[in-house]
Structure 1
Amino acid sequence: MAQATTIKGGKVRVLLGTPGALPADPITYAAPCGFTSRSITLTKNLEEVNIPDCEDPDKVDWVGRDATSLSMGVSGEGVLAAESVEDWLDAWESVESVPVKIEWEFPAKTVTWTGYMQVESVESEAPNGQRATLTVSMQSDGEMVRVVAP
C-alpha cells in the first residue's frame, strides 16, 4: 500500500485580492501576514423530501435529498500583524465582497478556488503579557471557481 501524499499547513493559503487601477487590470492576490492556522469549509445545502413506498404506503418513508446550493467558508487565526491589519479591516468594512483566492498546493498539483467573499467577522484577543491574536471568518458570495493545475 502506498502512503498518502500530504501537505503542511503553509501550503494551504488564503489570499486577498486587490483590483487594478483600471477595470481591465488584473486582480493582484497576496496572503495577509499573521495566520498560523487556516480552515476551509465546503458546504452543500440540501432539501429533503419523503419518498413513499408505492406498494406499502404504511411503510416508513425514506428521505430523498436534493442539492440546492454550494458555499465556502474560510476562517483563519494567528497573530495580530501590523503588516495585514488594515487589509483585514478594509475587507470587513467593505459593503462589497472582496476578491479571494484559496490554494491547496500539493507536490504534483495545486487546487485553487477564486471568487468573492464577505468578511463576516474579525476578532482580536489580547491577553495581558501575551501577543494579541486575530481570528477572521469569511463566507463565499457567489461561485468560487475551482481550477486544478499541475
Structure 2
Amino acid sequence: MARAITENFHEFVVEVETETPGTYAAICGLTARGINRTSNMSTSEVPDCDNEALPAAVERAVQSQEVTVTGQGVWAQTSHEMILDWWYSGATKNVRVKNIKAAVGDTEIEAGPAYLVSINNQGERGQKVTAEIEIQFDGVPTRTAKAA
C-alpha cells in the first residue's frame, strides 16, 4: 500500500498581485484558507416517449462554473492597506492560488482577475483582531501546470 502524498498549509498559497505588475505577495495573517470550485447546473425533465406515465428523467448540464477563495486569520498590519484599498476600489486584482507540491505536469497554479467580495473583522478584549475574506474570480481562472 502506498501512502498519499499530501500538502502542508504553507504549501497551499493565495497571492495577490502587488502594485508592481508580475509581482505577487501572500495575504499576511491568514491561518486558514480554501478554494471552492462550483459548477452551476441546469436541469431538464425528459419524459419517456414510449410510456409517458413513467416519471421523467432529470438530465443535467453544466451551465457555468465559478471559483472562490476564502481565508480566515488575524488582521495583519502587513496586508492592512492593500486589502482595504482593493475592497474600496471595487476593481479586480490578479490573484493566484498555488499548490506547491503538485506533481510535474499537474496544475500548480490557478490564476486570474478576481474581486475582493467581503472582509469581516472582529475584535475581542484580550484577543487579536481577526479577519475573514472572500475572493471571487472574474471568470474561470487559468490553470498552469508545474514545470519539470
State the TM-score, normalized to the length of structure 2: 0.91
Q: Is 1:45 aligned to 2:40, yes or no?
A: yes
Output the amino acid matched with 1:16: V
- CA RMSD after TM alignment: 1.4
Q: 1:7 to 1:84 in 2, by over 3 A?
A: same
Report the counterpart of residue 25 of structure 2 in structure 1. 30
Aligned length: 145
Aligned 8 A contact 1:12 1:105 in 2: yes
Output the amino acid matched with 1:69: S
Unaligned runs of 5+ in 1: 21-25
Report the counterpart of residue 5 of structure 1 in structure 2. 5
Report the counterpart of residue 114 of structure 2 in structure 1. 117
Identity %: 32
Report the counterpart of residue 58 of structure 1 in structure 2. 53
Describe how 1:118-137 pairs up with structure 2 within 5 A: 118-137=115-134
State the TM-score, normalized to the length of structure 1: 0.90
Report the counterpart of residue 101 of structure 2 in structure 1. 106
Residue from 118, 122, 136 that aligns with 1:139: 136
Indicate the SS of the match to 1:88: helix
Indicate the SS of the match to 1:83: helix
Distance 1:79 1:9 in 2: 16
Report the counterpart of residue 16 of structure 1 in structure 2. 16
Distance 1:105 1:58 in 2: 55
**1:83-132 CA distance string (max 9 Å, x none):** 11111111111222111011112163462111011111101110111111
- Deviation, 1:33, is 1.1
Indicate the SS of the match to 2:77: coil
> Structure 1 segments of 4 or more deviating over 6 A?
none
